[in-house]
């Protein structure tokens, strides 16, 4: 039996607050150490090792760090696409050209300053790294609730694109269950500082 949408929404809100509260307790040393471990684990993923184009994002605050991973992928010759938040919360994309080519944007984000490639550019990615707050045993991801990546996943589905979907999290954010809605999509793998977990398709 499906849950009442209002109940489901409140469950997500409660879980988001708890997870963000746990992140708030992390020290800069905690996040730096985790970022290095995440990069090492992620770079061993076959889905990234064989990728020509990876859609990713620049971590901010106490999010699991992506900076080292972005640079390592770029050094490998991977074309890394980074999101640019549009006024309607959809995402445009531009190529990552190094940390010096990132600019501060709204909501504390860092965005690439290069040519905008359009929202459909993500459909060319071999792998998409998704931000999130949790993932459960089925691979269902809990995002922050803004809906930007729901649009990305819907766009990929409409285009018939099937990139590897990977979420980067801290170990405590792999949970038994997250509340889901009809538009939610499972991911293929989660990377934490402790390693990689894959989910059955």
The DSSP element (H or E) to which 156 belongs, if any, is helix 148-159
5: left (phi over 0), alpha (psi -120 to 50) or beta: alpha
Task: Please tell me whether 149 is known to bind a ligand.
Answer: yes
Q: Is 54 annotated as a binding residue?
A: no
> Binding residue per annotation — 63?
yes
Ligand-binding annotation for 9, yes or no, is: no
Residue 52, annotated ligand binder?
Answer: no
The answer on whether 191 is annotated among ligand-binding residues is no
- Report the helix count and the strand count for the chain, using DSSP H and E: 5, 12
Annotated binding-site residue? 138: no
* Cβ contacts of 6 within 8 Å, gap of 6 or more: none
Angle, alpha carbons 46-50-54 (nearest 5°): 100
Q: Is 76 annotated as a binding residue?
A: no
15 annotated among ligand-binding-site residues: yes
Q: Coil, strand or helix: which one is 153?
A: helix
Taking Cα atoms as reference points, which of 22, 169, 143, 134 lies closest to residue 83?
Answer: 143
147 assigned to a ligand binding site: yes
> In whole angstroms, what is the distance from residue 146 CA to residue 133 CA?
12
Is 141 annotated as belonging to a binding site?
yes
Q: Is there a binding annotation on residue 144? A: yes
CA-nearest of 110, 37, 99 to 70 is 99
Distance CA 174, CA 182 (A): 21
How many residues are present in the chain? Answer: 201
Is 198 annotated in some ligand binding site?
A: no
User: Does 148 belong to an annotated binding site?
Assistant: yes
Binding residue positions: 12-16, 58, 63, 141-149
Q: Which residues are annotated as a binding site for ATP?
A: 12-16, 141-149
Q: Which residues are annotated as a binding site for substrate?
A: 58, 63
């Amino acid at each position: 039996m499906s849950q009442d949408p209002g109940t489901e929404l409140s469950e997500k809100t409660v879980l988001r607050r708890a997870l963000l509260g746990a992140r708030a307790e992390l020290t800069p040393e905690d996040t730096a150490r985790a970022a290095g471990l995440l990069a090492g684990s992620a770079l061993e993923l076959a889905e990234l090792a064989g990728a020509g184009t990876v859609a990713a994002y620049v971590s901010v605050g106490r999010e699991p760090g992506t900076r080292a991973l972005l640079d390592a992928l770029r050094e490998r010759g991977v074309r890394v696409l980074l999101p640019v938040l549009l006024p309607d919360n959809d995402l445009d994309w531009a190529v990552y050209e190094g940390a010096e080519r990132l600019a501060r944007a709204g909501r504390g984000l860092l965005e690439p300053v290069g040519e905008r490639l359009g929202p459909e550019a993500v459909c060319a990615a071999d792998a998409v790294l998704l931000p999130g707050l949790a993932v459960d045993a089925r691979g269902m991801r809990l995002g922050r609730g803004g809906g930007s990546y729901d649009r990305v996943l819907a766009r990929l589905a409409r285009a018939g694109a099937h990139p590897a979907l990977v979420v980067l999290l801290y170990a405590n954010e792999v949970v038994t269950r997250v509340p889901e809605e009809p538009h939610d999509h499972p991911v293929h793998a989660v990377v934490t500082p402790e390693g990689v977990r894959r989910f059955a398709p």
